[in-house]
Structure 1
Amino acid sequence: MQPIHSYSPARRSAANAPAVVDKAMDAQFRAQAGQMGLDPDDRWVGGYVGVEWQGVRHLIEAYAGNVDGAALLEFGCNYAASSIVAATLGASVTAIDVDPGAIALARLNCARYGVADRVDLRHLPDTRRLPFADASFDIILCISVLEYVAPDHLPAVLAEIDRVLKPGGLIIVSGTASRLAPREVHSGRWLVNYWPRAIDRWLLRREPMQRGVNPLPILRAFRRYTNVDLEDRGQSWCRARTAMGQSSAKLRLARALASLTRPFGLSIGMAGSSFSATWRKPA
């Protein structure tokens, strides 16, 4: 496998954006989405790959650079949009999810984009034990997923992520709703992040209300790692967000907040309603 190189916009600008190349598989994807009660034209369903091409692509490029031949795991792949992007960039992708319906639609998604041979999709109902050998992956993506892991499962899940990552490998966490925020980003509810979970039982709810994830257990799980955003003082984070089109005013605000949170071990991207950070495993 080629090493993961530093970011080079000139090299990666040659990569073509993913495009639907198999009309038959596209028709099956659209039919399957409809059977699942989803709109195949929704930007978070049929348009999801385009969204991630303008999002997670820049994270991969800013932090990992050239990923040709890199072994990449997407933890919680949903419909495999990020996996398709990573495969388009040249990575050898393994993608897992606890939802069998999501995996079924992800298979059709990969097929219609012509990357089915580069993405190994697996349904894993319990991610507290991953069916991979130690040190299997160069990069692990956790994109808007850790907030959906049951709190009592999270330590085991994070331990497994640590186990299967190679020494020197990267964990990229992004778009993860934070329980430190006053407003929960997915539901839009104010202050629910601060309510004890026991309140859900008092309200006789069948399903617990959506809350962000507490970043502190994640920080503890990766305390031996190097926080790349602290190490480079947010340069990679800002480079990725600039490529995504984030305004200079928001970047200035993020830098200002980072200067306040840095003494507490919190890097840029960890102070908002959603947090992001990248860690490198010790070599």
Structure 2
Amino acid sequence: MQNDHPFLKDDFIKKYIKQDIDGQLYSVEASLESLIPWIDYVTDIQNNKILVFGTGGGGTAVACALKVGNGKVYGIDINSWAVDTTKERSRLYGTSDKLILKCVDDSYPLPFPDEYFDIVIMADVIEHIIEDRVKYVQECFTKLKKDGYFIITGTPNLFYPKDRHTTGLYFIPWLPSKIAYHYSVFRKKWQKGKNLDYAGRKGTTYFHIMKWLKPFSYVVLNVEMKNFTSQYLINHHRINSFKRKLFFKPYLALEFLLQRFLKLPITAFMPYLNHLFIQKK
């Protein structure tokens, strides 16, 4: 791999990134391009106290740290490799003073007071939780201040039969764990002995998330803010290809109908649950 990355040099890549799987090398840049503008679309990211639940390789946490101003970003993960990678990535990007990292044996309960954070982010993480997802989502929400923002993004939508996250096979998200694993190995799309569930073969749905948050008071900003997604795309000049221009008007109409009559966000019906913003009340 030819390395022309401005911050991550060969020694980091050899130690932490064996292959550039899912764009891990440029994960900070990806978050700066996608997630950070979305946060700023809803609220000012600067000077906030932010929790990134499940740091992974550190893309989201470091991107937030670059933009948090006088605030602080807290990252937590059960995987020591993930925390070490995030820590080293943060050092190379010059954000070590903005980022506090914790490696824990279990992320329930979280080692923070209730109503401690202004923003809590679960990016590309729910699909990797193989235990009781309800308690982890509720625990994250409990740590959020009143009027704070709970952001879920990058999670495969369980409505869709194709596993886009691990094997590329159809029906893997819907099958029982053992059958999904053995079928994936049989099709030579998964390595024998590796945990397919932990790798994220099964996402969730918007309706599951709403059920899990039922004990709390909140509003879904994707519904409350008129033309939430389409207005963002317009404001940020994302309708910039023939295909996007062709499908944008039907997309706009669908978003309007879902919001107006069903009180549902359009992301609830997309292949991935992206940029779901929930404000605690």
Fold match (TM-score > 0.5): yes
CA shift for structure 1 position 244: 7.3
CA shift for structure 1 position 102: 1.3
Report the secondary structure of 2:155's partner residue: strand
Give 1:230's aligned residue. Answer: 223
- Please give the alpha-carbon distance, in whole angstroms, between the structure 1 residues aligned to 2:180 and 2:86: 32
1:76 matched to 2:54? The reply is yes
- Please give the alpha-carbon distance, in whole angstroms, between the structure 1 residues aligned to 2:151 and 2:245: 23
Report the secondary structure of 2:60's partner residue: helix
Give 1:10's aligned residue. Answer: none
Report the secondary structure of 2:74's partner residue: strand
Residue pair 2:79, 2:103 contacting (<8 A) in 1 also? yes
Among 110, 125, 131, which residue is 2:111 paired with? 131
Residue pair 1:255, 1:268 contacting (<8 A) in 2 also? no
1:112 matched to 2:92? The reply is yes
43 and 59 in structure 1: CA distance in 2 versus 1, 3 angstrom threshold: same
CA shift for structure 1 position 109: 0.6
Matched letter for residue 232 of structure 1: M
1:268 matched to 2:266? The reply is yes
- Please give the alpha-carbon distance, in whole angstroms, between the structure 1 residues aligned to 2:25 and 2:76: 19
Matched letter for residue 128 of structure 1: Y
- Please give the alpha-carbon distance, in whole angstroms, between the structure 2 residues aligned to 1:265 and 1:182: 25
User: In the TM superposition, what are the counterparts of 1:238-257 in structure 2 within 5 Å?
Assistant: 238-242=230-234, 243=236, 245=238, 247-257=244-254
CA shift for structure 1 position 149: 1.0
- Please give the alpha-carbon distance, in whole angstroms, between the structure 1 residues aligned to 2:66 and 2:156: 27
- Please give the alpha-carbon distance, in whole angstroms, between the structure 1 residues aligned to 2:237 and 2:120: 20
Query: What is the TM-score normalised by the length of structure 1?
Result: 0.79
- Please give the alpha-carbon distance, in whole angstroms, between the structure 2 residues aligned to 1:80 and 1:130: 19
- Please give the alpha-carbon distance, in whole angstroms, between the structure 2 residues aligned to 1:97 and 1:251: 38
Aligned positions, number: 254
- Please give the alpha-carbon distance, in whole angstroms, between the structure 2 residues aligned to 1:183 and 1:108: 35
Q: 1:31-57 CA distances to partner (integer Å, 9 max, x unpaired)? A: 244134524x77723321111111111
101 and 182 in structure 1: CA distance in 2 versus 1, 3 angstrom threshold: same
Question: Any unmatched runs of 5+ in structure 1?
Answer: 1-18
CA shift for structure 1 position 193: 2.2
User: In the TM superposition, what are the counterparts of 1:33-112 in structure 2 within 5 Å?
Assistant: 33-36=13-16, 38-39=18-19, 44-64=23-43, 66-89=44-67, 90=69, 91-112=71-92
- Please give the alpha-carbon distance, in whole angstroms, between the structure 2 residues aligned to 1:105 and 1:99: 10
Matched letter for residue 218 of structure 1: I
- Please give the alpha-carbon distance, in whole angstroms, between the structure 2 residues aligned to 1:113 and 1:93: 14
Give 1:3's aligned residue. Answer: none
178 and 78 in structure 1: CA distance in 2 versus 1, 3 angstrom threshold: same
CA shift for structure 1 position 221: 2.3
User: In the TM superposition, what are the counterparts of 1:14-25 in structure 2 within 5 Å?
Assistant: none
Range 250-259 or range 109-118, more displaced: 250-259
208 and 82 in structure 1: CA distance in 2 versus 1, 3 angstrom threshold: closer
Give 2:188's aligned residue. Answer: none
Query: What is the TM-score normalised by the length of structure 2?
Result: 0.80
Q: 1:64-104 CA distances to partner (integer Å, 9 max, x unpaired)? A: 1x222110111112122222222222241001122211111
- Please give the alpha-carbon distance, in whole angstroms, between the structure 1 residues aligned to 2:47 and 2:57: 22
37 and 115 in structure 1: CA distance in 2 versus 1, 3 angstrom threshold: closer
184 and 240 in structure 1: CA distance in 2 versus 1, 3 angstrom threshold: farther
CA shift for structure 1 position 201: 6.8
Q: 1:11-42 CA distances to partner (integer Å, 9 max, x unpaired)? A: xxxxxxxx956xxxx44xx4244134524x77
38 and 244 in structure 1: CA distance in 2 versus 1, 3 angstrom threshold: farther
